[in-house]
Amino acid sequence: MFTILPVKGGLGVVEGFFCDGVNAGLREGTQPDVAFIRSDVLCDVAAVFTTNRFQAAPIKHYQLHEAGFQTNFVLMNAKNANAMTGKRGIEDIDTILSALPKKLGVHNPLMSSTGVIGYPLPVEKITSAFAKFDFDAKNSDAAAQAIMTTDSFKKELALKVELENGNTFHIAAICKGAGMINPAMATMLCFIVTDADIPKEEMQPLLKQSADQSFNTISVDGDTSTNDTVMLLTSRKSSAYDKEAFAEALNMLTHRLAMMILEDGEGSNKVVAFEVTNARTKEDAIKASKALSNSLLVKTALFGEDPNWGRIASTIGASGIECDEERLVIRYDDLLIYSAEYPVLDKEREAKAFEIMKQKSFKISCDIGLGSAHHTSYGCDLSYDYVKINADYRT
Amino acid sequence: MFTILPVKGGLGVVEGFFCDGVNAGLREGTQPDVAFIRSDVLCDVAAVFTTNRFQAAPIKHYQLHEAGFQTNFVLMNAKNANAMTGKRGIEDIDTILSALPKKLGVHNPLMSSTGVIGYPLPVEKITSAFAKFDFDAKNSDAAAQAIMTTDSFKKELALKVELENGNTFHIAAICKGAGMINPAMATMLCFIVTDADIPKEEMQPLLKQSADQSFNTISVDGDTSTNDTVMLLTSRKSSAYDKEAFAEALNMLTHRLAMMILEDGEGSNKVVAFEVTNARTKEDAIKASKALSNSLLVKTALFGEDPNWGRIASTIGASGIECDEERLVIRYDDLLIYSAEYPVLDKEREAKAFEIMKQKSFKISCDIGLGSAHHTSYGCDLSYDYVKINADYRT
């Protein structure tokens, strides 16, 4: 028995962690563009990175550390991805991190970047932030603002977990991502901190499964970036821990942040769950539900609020999975849309389908009828605004 | 030695073939929506169909025939795909084809459909066309008009082939397709007729390789339809044939029609060749070039005319092929855009890149530098109009 409750304060609620964000001139205006998270103790760290073969310099820099290393400092910046920048990209990170004030006593400091690919980091602008930071602040809001790119709102969440014996721990995260999101976890950054007394060896597997059930089930546009990072740091300032409670809180946190990314999908107006059931294999279920969440014709039909189930069926058929039109059943929420017995959508059911599609979120479920495997992916519609944002975007 | 020359007249120039198209009320207005191609002799036939598992009824109907069957009649309609229509879909085809005038002496008549999925064919409307057809016409224009859906122009081409000995034959085609086009040959229909004296056993392999080098290299939106069909019929009214000349004429015909589909890509403003060279394997070259032609972020950057090569690099990295940023070289036409030595696009090269991207067509080439395999896919940009057409489309 345990309870998990959302609390205000973002990263600031977690004991031992400090954070801030300031504008260092990487973007115009006053919105922060450089941020840090630090801890007053050394933290164990777990991380999941992009599957893109061209990993950005900060990811390569992370991987230069020995397995099991500890850290107490992570620096982040927006507007420049430090990707496809060669050796200079890693040297720039070292230059920047070496300029951190000595009094902080940073150990194995890390860096994480998001923005445009192929330009060297503006080293002096970034280090100019160090004089502006309040290194003892718990300014989670400013840190969450600093990592935003095309995001239209900041993404931040904190949970308090109370165990049966009354002991508590916290877990909190800031996150960014709105476009280039795909089931293989594309341009998104998520920094999770906790004071739970989690055993070191449980961190990486728990983080991996949590990313799989959250960030890896969502798609805005099917592209996968060079910089994706989900990182977990623990200060262990609370003596409390329970594996089941921690896993559930972590999964709630990452799932909710993933839905926030989707709600903020570039030009997105609605969030749709694509549930595939009774597929022959798990691979088939994943393949079909990801094909649905990535199909341009499905996404534009969602935007047009057109219950054109032929595009759903056609996408399933084209996905390469085992399927049979005699067995396929398609539902929108609980409404039967297609089965071999009722191939024609009559006026009454069509009217109901139009109603369902007007909602801000709903479920499209496809029963393949050939097995028992299932998978759900989450996607959004494709609007004029997606095209506008991505034709114009060049941060 | 042989010469291949374009000639006017579409399907009508090929000896032995007749065609017409009329409006039978499947769409509003006067544009034809039902068409036929017939021959006054029995034709050998070869065909390539969609890879979608939910093949439409006309494709299943075709496949009910014994291998090596001959035909002298193909009926086509727009506005209704006769897909996901179960047994009734095939029965409707039989009903319709049985109603053809007896005097025509049709043998193994075929049908081909395009339009919306999941509604039964309007049988009576379609058979009402039979009283309106001129079965002795060579009205290729009307037939090409009849199979259009979101196409903004009709697609028709005829070639005259003159062999060294002065003998000639003709090859001609009508074709439709504008959206739902992907490298696996999606919603497109193409009917090719010839009077060449081509040996029966050469028809299918020649048609297959020709579709592979044309329709299977283009992508508008990465979706694959239930109805795709490329069909070749021969009347053998000419005694002329030369395998090399025929293959070249067939490839010219299908490649040109494929480019017409891309030029007519829904909302498309430009055609781009994505050339991948020096990949480790042929599979890698195909995978990378198709990933580029299907990437939403690449397609919107093309629309925005933004030389944002980071999206090209990121898409290559995400495609799952073997690659190395130290070896990758990206060019737009002949302009060097990225190599490890020149990662930063200076102002001068960037200005040139903007000029290149303003063109109606250009080439993006990616040298992977790890082998010798290459492949070129063709794609187009993604505009507001694509979203508009596909949010509204419901034929």
Q: Is B254 a catalytic residue?
A: no
- CA A210, A137, A139, A229 torsion-angle sign: negative
Task: State pLDDT tens for residues B244-284.
Answer: 999 999 999 998 898 888 888 766 778 899 999 999 999 99
Comparing CA positions, the residue from B304, B331, B319, B308 lying closest to residue A81 is B308
Measured distance between the N- and C-terminal CA atoms of chain B, rounded to whole angstroms:
47
Query: If you write DSSP's letter for every residue of B137-156 in order, what string do you get?
Result: -B-HHHHHHHT-SS-SS-EE
With an 8 Å Cβ cutoff, are B295 and A391 in contact?
A: no
For the domain made up of B271-392, give the CATH fold. Answer: Ubiquitin-like (UB roll) (3.10.20)
Query: Scanning every residue of chain B, which has its alpha carbon at the shortest distance from the alpha carbon of A220?
Result: B296
Q: Do B317 and A343 touch (CB under 8 A)?
A: no
Q: pLDDT 10s digit of each residue in chain A, 395 long? A: 899 999 999 999 999 999 999 999 999 999 999 999 999 999 999 999 988 888 999 999 999 999 999 999 999 999 999 999 999 999 999 999 999 999 999 999 999 999 888 889 999 999 999 999 999 999 999 999 999 988 889 999 999 999 999 999 999 999 998 654 443 334 689 999 999 999 999 999 999 999 988 888 887 555 667 888 999 999 999 999 999 999 999 999 998 898 888 888 766 778 899 999 999 999 999 999 999 988 887 888 888 888 888 889 989 998 999 999 999 999 999 999 999 887 677 888 889 999 999 998 899 999 999 999 999 988 888 877 767 766 665 53
Q: Are A306 and B394 in contact (CB under 8 A)?
A: yes
Contact A52 B317 (CB under 8 A): yes
C-alpha span between A113 and A46 (Å, rounded)? 17
Strands B361-367 and B271-279 come out as: parallel
Look at residue B341 in the predicted model and tell me its pLDDT: 85
Q: How far apart are CA A245 and CA A255, in angstroms?
A: 15
Nearest beta carbon to residue A313 from set B117, B309, B345? B117
Query: What values do phi and psi take at A131, rounded to 5?
Result: -75, -20
Nearest C-alpha of chain A: how many angstroms from B97?
Answer: 23
The number of beta carbons lying within 10 Å of the beta carbon of residue B114 is 30
With bands split at pLDDT 50, 70 and 90, how would you rate the model's confidence at B186?
very low
pLDDT score recorded for residue A216: 84
Question: Tokens at residue A308, please?
Answer: 């054109």
Show Cβ contacts of residue A201 under 8 Å, excluding neighbours closer than 6 positions.
none
Nearest Cβ partner of B295 from A81, A223, A383?
A223
Question: A233 to chain B, minimum CA–CA distance in Å?
Answer: 27
User: Which of B223, B226, B388 has its CB closest to that of A296?
Assistant: B223
Closest CA of chain A from B225, distance in Å: 6
Band (B228; pLDDT cuts 50, 70, 90): confident
| Chain A partners within 8 Å of B390 (Cβ) | 296-297, 300-301, 304
Q: Are the beta carbons of B286 and A211 closer than 8 angstroms?
A: no
Name the band, by pLDDT with cuts 50, 70 and 90, for residue B295: confident
Phi, psi angle pair for A365, to nearest 5°:
-120, 140
Tokens of B380: 């187009």
pLDDT on residue B217: 84
Q: Which two tokens stand for residue A38?
A: 């630090």
Determine the pLDDT at residue B277: 97
Domain ranges in chain A?
A: 2-263, 271-392
pLDDT of A220 reads 58
**Residue A82, number of CB atoms within 10 A of its CB:** 31
Q: Give the torsion through C-alpha atoms of A384, A389, A392, A394, to 10 deg.
A: -160
Q: What is the pLDDT of residue B51?
A: 82
Residues 6+ apart with CB under 8 A from B158: B6, B7, B8, B9, B10, B11, B12, B13, B14, B140, B170, B171, B172, B173
B115 neighbourhood in chain A, CB within 8 Å: none
**Interchain pair B310, A117: CB under 8 A:** yes
Q: Do domains A2-263 and A271-392 have the same CATH topology?
A: no
What is the average per-residue pLDDT within B20-30? 96
pLDDT of A350-391, one tens digit each?
A: 899 999 999 988 999 999 999 999 999 888 888 777 677 666
Residues of B in contact with A291 (CB under 8 A): none
- DSSP letters, A161-205, are EEETTS-EEEEEEEEE-SSS--TTT-S-EEEEEE-S---HHHHHH
User: Which conformational region is residue B19 in: left (phi greater than 0), alpha (psi within -120 to 50 degrees), or beta?
Assistant: beta
Alpha helix positions (H), chain A: 57-63, 86-98, 123-128, 140-146, 200-212, 243-263, 282-294, 296-303, 309-318, 347-357, 384-392
**If you measure CA to CA, which chain B residue comes closest to A221?**
B296
Residues of A within 8 A of B309 (CB-CB) are 117-118
Q: Do B317 and A85 touch (CB under 8 A)?
A: no
Token pair 């999975």 in the structure block, residue: A321
Q: What is the mean pLDDT of residues B367-378?
A: 94
Are A276 and A288 in contact by the 8 Å Cβ rule? The answer is yes
**Which residues does chain B have within 8 Å of residue A309's beta carbon, measured at their own beta carbons?**
117-118
Buried b (16+ CB within 10 A) or exposed e, B80-89: bbbbbbeeeb
pLDDT, residue B183, reads 34
- For residues B15-30, give the mean pLDDT: 96
- DSSP string spanning A232-277? EEE---S----HHHHHHHHHHHHHHHHHHHHHTSTT---EEEEEEE
Name chain A contacts of B226, Cβ cutoff 8 Å.
310, 313-314, 317
Nearest CB to A117; choose among B52, B186, B314: B314
Question: Is the pLDDT confidence value at B125 over 50?
Answer: yes
pLDDT tens track for A130-170: 999 999 999 999 999 999 988 889 999 999 999 999 999 99
Q: How far is B354 from chain A (nearest CA, A)?
A: 14
Considering only residues B159 and B152, tell me which one the structure prediction assigns the higher pLDDT: B159
CATH superfamily of B2-263: L-amino peptidase D-ALA esterase/amidase (3.60.70.12)
CB B223 to CB A318 under 8 A?
yes
Q: Which residue among A317, A390, A394 places its CB closest to the CB of B52? A: A317
Judged by CB atoms closer than 8 Å, whether chains meet at A394 and B308 is answered as yes
Q: In what order do the strands lie in the sheet with A271-279?
A: A218-219, A373-380, A271-279, A361-367, A329-332, A335-338
Contact A223 B296 (CB under 8 A): yes
Give the tokens for residue B164: 């060294």
Whether residue B118 contacts residue B85, with contact meaning beta carbons closer than 8 Å, is answered with yes
Do the Cβ atoms of A316 and B345 come within 8 Å? no
> Residue B9's pLDDT is what?
93
Q: Closest residue of B to A80, CA-based?
A: B310
Q: Report ipTM for this prediction.
A: 0.73
From residue A352, alpha-carbon distances to A357, A364, B118, B262 in Å are 9, 14, 17, 37
| C-beta of residue B119 within 8 angstroms of C-beta of residue B85 | yes
Higher pLDDT: B363 or A259? It is: B363
Selecting from B119, B225, B318 the residue whose C-beta is nearest the C-beta of A52 gives B318
Q: How far is CA B66 from the centre of its chain?
A: 26
Residue at token pair 């399907």 = B11
* Distance, CA of A255 to CA of A250 (rounded, Å): 8
Highest mean pLDDT out of B56-60, B221-225, B318-322:
B56-60
Structure tokens at A221: 């546009």
Q: Among all residues of chain B, which has the CA nearest to that of A55?
A: B317
Give the contacts of B87 (CB within 8 A, at least 6 positions apart). none
Give the whole-angstrom CA distance, residue B380 versus residue A285. 30
Look at B184 and A295 and tell me if their CB atoms are within 8 Å. no
